[in-house]
Amino acid sequence: MSTMFRLLSLFLSSLIGVLPGIAMAQSKVPIDWAGVKLESIGEGLLPTAEYKGKVVLVVNTASFCGFTDQYEGLEALWRRYKDKGFVLLGVPSNDFGQQEPGSKAEIKHFCESKFDVTFPLSDKQIVTGDKAHPLYKWIASQAGSVGAPKWNFHKYLIGRDGKLIEWYSAMTGPGSTSIDADIRKALAAPGA
């Protein structure tokens, strides 16, 4: 019976991890973008301090995942809203299924050559557990255990005020009407 209970618990937790984001109350603690240090997949640090007052969609990505084709939709979102105060931040991670094993140069080449990615990408990061990057520790503290990343291409929408608005599992693609509507609503909201 104990083994059956553990299997049922494991199944239910993985199921929760793939369901689309559940409407949540906005987080209470804003992110301090000036304090977020992320190495770019290109050269140097990403200009995260410039994200203050913008709407940011953070996505943990992987090159060899069944959801990798979401890069195309992410790039479309970036191009549609980047001139309106929107940032799309891709954070490659090898945390799930070892599906991002490449070097910084390999990941960058893959994203640019296969999907014409122009949105900002960080260097590969840990996004779960005690060793997670501080950005993802903040995300987990705001989204809770249900909203913490469970797989590649988990998405987090952060408002102009620096507060987490919503999260979306990998099953909610970047072309979904809910993500688009949430971005438009967040862009229309007043800044920090």
- What are the residue numbers of the active site? 65
* Measured distance CA(192)–CA(190) in Å, rounded: 7
> CB under 8 Å to 148, separation ≥6 — which residues?
128, 139, 140
Query: What is the 3-state composition of the chain as percent helix, strand, coil, each rounded to the nearest 5?
Result: 40, 15, 45
Q: Are 174 and 76 in contact (CB under 8 A)?
A: yes
Sign of the torsion angle spanned by Cα atoms 191, 119, 72, 102: negative
